[in-house]
Amino acid sequence: MKFFSLFFLILLAGVPAQAADAPAWSLVIHGGAGTILRENLDAETEAAYRAKLSEAMDAGAAILADGGSSLDAVEATIRVMEDSPLFNAGKGAVFTEAGANEMDSSIMDGRDLNAGAVAGIKTVRNPISAARAVMEKSPHVMMAREGAEKFAAAQGLVMEDPAYFRTERRWQGYLKAKEKRDADPDRKHGTVGCVAVDQAGNIAAGTSTGGMTLKMWGRIGDSPVIGAGTYANNKTCGVSATGHGEYFIRNVVAYDISALMEYAGLSLQEAAEKVVLGKLVAQQATGGIVALDAEGNIAMVFNTPGMYRGFRESNGEGQVAIFGE
């Protein structure tokens, strides 16, 4: 794997630490991390990404500002990105080795550690909503493939023909990757995610993805794995991850950040840096996370050249960023 050591120290903390004057609510999102370089993104495409990230945050922020729950905000925010062909989730999902679109998603409630996830689904328009249905309307945490689809349909979720998820951009990327086997340098990093804390102080986190380009039949990454790609606990933080899923599973990345806060007394930023810039880099694993805690501290840490990301707060603070600026 080729690495870009110049970027190993790239990280962004959205806001400084806060205490008594913490925002009433906060929201942070990502749209995937990888070799995202300014010279490779034309002005029109960059503007489209920034606009969609802002639109997604608008959806979640409106709910939080109205006193809504962090779970509702996370779901609404991610649905906007799932419905966009720009991101590797939902409508913009990449293709598997067999030339199909298979999606994974998860969501977690920091109040009681309840969680839900789906894996390998092909016909649910919004996988994040299917994950929430599993959490709230089933006795399980994770459901997969046809079983998850049947359950989602029974809950009244919007279903689509698999052709709905196909986009020409992803198809061409699949053909190139298939020809060269690893032509897409970002084939391991496409994911969307959101973490929110509401006015009641409750944290929720969610993640959704189309997985890895050319992934083998049956492969499942970190996005639907609670503790790896998604984690939320009111006592510590909420985390959504994006990156080379196999490493995020092995390192239980999302939970590890929470555990470092709970058991080692690290701050959110310190814990995120230790995991993403320390453990993952040592294993030559690439990716990043977005996270926040109940005090309104936000972390956006990544070891790749770029990560689509942004945050919004009730105090008017906000940002949309793409590159390592």
Domains located in the chain, CATH noted: 5-314 (3.60.20.30)
User: Residue 188: its pLDDT value, please?
Assistant: 47
pTM of the model: 0.91
- Give the pLDDT confidence of 5-55 residue by residue, as tens digits: 334 344 443 333 334 567 899 999 999 999 888 998 999 999 999 999 999
User: Residue 172: its pLDDT value, please?
Assistant: 87
The span from the CA of 180 to the CA of 188, in Å, is: 15
Active-site annotation, residues: 191
List CB contacts of 36: < 8 A, sequence separation 6 or more.
Answer: 186, 304, 305, 306, 307, 308, 322, 323
pLDDT in tens, the chain (325 residues): 333 333 434 444 333 333 456 789 999 999 999 988 899 899 999 999 999 999 999 999 999 999 999 999 999 999 999 999 999 999 999 999 999 999 999 999 999 999 999 999 999 999 999 999 999 999 999 999 999 999 999 999 999 999 999 888 888 888 888 877 654 444 445 799 999 999 999 999 999 999 999 999 999 999 999 999 999 999 999 999 999 999 999 999 999 999 999 999 999 999 999 999 999 999 999 999 999 998 989 999 999 999 999 999 999 999 999 998 6
User: Residue 304: its pLDDT value, please?
Assistant: 95
User: Residue 181: its pLDDT value, please?
Assistant: 62
List CB contacts of 139: < 8 A, sequence separation 6 or more.
Answer: none
User: Residue 21: its pLDDT value, please?
Assistant: 67
Strands 192-197 and 318-321: unpaired
CB–CB of 222/229 below 8 Å? yes
Residue 54: which H helix or E strand, with range? helix 43-65
User: Residue 20: its pLDDT value, please?
Assistant: 52
